[in-house]
Amino acid sequence: MEQPRPEDKDWTWVLDRPCPQCGFDAAAVPRDQLAAKVRSNAAAWRAVLNRGAVVSMRPPEDPERGPVWSALEYGAHVRDVYQVMAERLKLMLTKNDPRFLNWDPDAAAVEKRYSEQDPHRVGYDLALTAGKVADALERVRDNQWGRTGQRSDGQPFTVERLATYLYHDVVHHLHDAEAGFKAIAGGGDDDPDDEVDGQGADGES
Ligand SMILES: [Zn+2]
């Protein structure tokens, strides 16, 4: 069976130009605000994951993208993104130009059965892990933001770019989850321009 995909392997371009889907603009997120924004993103995710039965429902299939994850599946993915990025940040801050282990989000979704997880537990763990990331970001000193690391595909990152990349990821999927709720409710309008307002829910404002 074809699985929905998180589509975030090659999102490094969002560091250089705004994301047309979720409206995220990396240039508008100063690095010293990243920790606070991560905390509000986690709070927004907990609210999303507490919305009841709809959380586990997959929206109708997207004609272009195929199957679409439920809010629960996106939430479980975001929890794991926070976990993976927490480890990468730690590596970059303690080793010189480390190479990260590969992480396959699609395989993780299947192996860990995202769709069968308990939404409250996912929300709790997501907030816990995001809190660790935020704590780590608060401790980054000015001369550490430029420390480097590489993804297994050779993509280079600095601490600042990895943290910004992470933050877009978790904002973008919040947007995905909200769009899914709308589609399930029968809105049927997936014009991305309409979704920019949804940014308010993730603490962007
Ligand atoms: Zn985006």
Assigned domain for 29 exists: no
Higher pLDDT, 85 or 196: 85
Structure tokens, 168: 């877009």
Give me the number of domains the chain comprises.
1
Assigned domain for 185 exists: yes
What's the whole-number average pLDDT of the chain? 89
Assigned domain for 107 exists: yes
How remote is the CA of residue 171 from the centroid of ligand 1, in Å?
7
How remote is the CA of residue 124 from the centroid of ligand 1, in Å?
24
Task: Express as a percent the part of the chain with pLDDT over 90.
Answer: 74
197 pLDDT more than 50: no
How remote is the CA of residue 88 from the centroid of ligand 1, in Å?
21
CA distance 6 to 81: 11
Tell me which range, 53-67, 68-82, 175-189, 191-205, is most confidently predicted by mean pLDDT.
68-82
Assigned domain for 158 exists: yes
CB neighbour burial string for 9-28, b if at least 16 within 10 angstroms, e if fewer: eeeeebbeeebebbbbebee
94 pLDDT more than 60: yes
Residue type, 130: A
Which residue is listed with tokens 């969002």? 14
User: Secondary structure of 32-61 in the HEC alphabet?
Assistant: HHHHHHHHHHHHHHHHHHCCCHHHHCCCCC
Q: Both ends of the chain: CA-CA distance in Å?
A: 39
- CATH classification at residue 163: 1.20.120.450
CA distance 53 to 127: 20
How remote is the CA of residue 14 from the centroid of ligand 1, in Å?
7
Assigned domain for 144 exists: yes
How remote is the CA of residue 68 from the centroid of ligand 1, in Å?
16
How remote is the CA of residue 147 from the centroid of ligand 1, in Å?
25
Higher pLDDT, 188 or 162: 162
Assigned domain for 15 exists: no
Host domain of residue 164? 34-59+67-193
Assigned domain for 146 exists: yes
CA distance 169 to 157: 15
Q: How many CB atoms lie within 10 A of CB 61?
A: 13
pLDDT band at 106 (very low <50, low <70, confident <90, very high): confident
Query: What's 146's DSSP letter?
Result: T
pLDDT for 4 equals: 67
pLDDT for 8 equals: 55
- pTM equals 0.86
> What pLDDT digit, counting tens, does each position of 139-181 carry?
999 999 999 999 988 899 999 999 999 999 999 999 999 999 9
Max CA-CA distance within the chain? 51
> What pLDDT digit, counting tens, does each position of 75-85 carry?
999 999 999 99
* DSSP sequence for 153-173: TS-EEEHHHHHHHHHHHHHHH
Assigned domain for 205 exists: no
Query: What's 145's DSSP letter?
Result: T
203 pLDDT more than 70: no
How remote is the CA of residue 198 from the centroid of ligand 1, in Å?
12
